Amino acid sequence: MAVAYNYACDLAYGFIQNPNEHQRVGYVTEFAGLGLPQALKADLTVTNPQTAANVTVVGVIQEFEWSGGVADPLQIQLYVSQENAAQLKVLQQSVLTTTKVSALNYLIIDYDQEAKRWFTQAAPVQPLSGIVPGGSNPDLNVDLTPVAVAEGIDVDVYKVSVQVAPGANQSYVLTFANSSTTPLAKAWGLVTG
């Protein structure tokens, strides 16, 4: 039986970190495909708690879910900039010429209370490609209602929900961990001989 993975990430902490707290955060660092003329821009600046460096990302994850089976889709709820949300909304409202995702990369980071350090909780070994299930009515939902990043911060983001399933004859390795010392590799996708 497959083990399911479900990670709720702290949206506000994903943007602004409090040194006295250690909340799980997640980022989509790359997203391309679905007939977009180019990859979505990495236009949100966040701080990676592992490195304390400022990095730019495509979106900040609120929820990541995978049922654990090699053919099961990754389900991601994330928040993106107005420009990226507008591009995806156009796709949501039109008949897609392709449901192929040519690049998807994400990073979920949590804090190991015992080891007192941040660690990568979930990430693919390399960027993924796949498809958004649903055919001409793909599993892509964009909400153009602005959401404030945090109180007192004048930045709005927009909610996107997307599922990405592995494409035919594609296989990838996803890594997961419950602490800084227990990484686990899982197969996603299937190559048939």
Residues 33-82 have pLDDT tens digits of 998 989 999 999 999 999 989 999 999 999 999 999 999 999 999 999 99
pLDDT of residue 190: 86
The whole-number pLDDT of residue 136 equals 66
pLDDT at 5 over 80: yes
Which of 19-23, 75-79, 88-92, 150-154 is most confident?
A: 75-79
Among the listed residues 142, 151, 166, the one whose alpha carbon sits nearest the alpha carbon of residue 79: 142
Which residues make Cβ contacts (< 8 Å) with residue 83, sequence separation at least 6?
41, 43
DSSP 8-state secondary structure symbol assigned to residue 93: T
The predicted model scores a pTM of 0.94
> What is the rounded distance in angstroms from the CA atom of residue 17 to the CA atom of residue 13?
5
The dihedral built from the CA positions of residue 57, 61, 111 and 119, taken in this order, carries a sign that is: negative
pLDDT at 9: 97
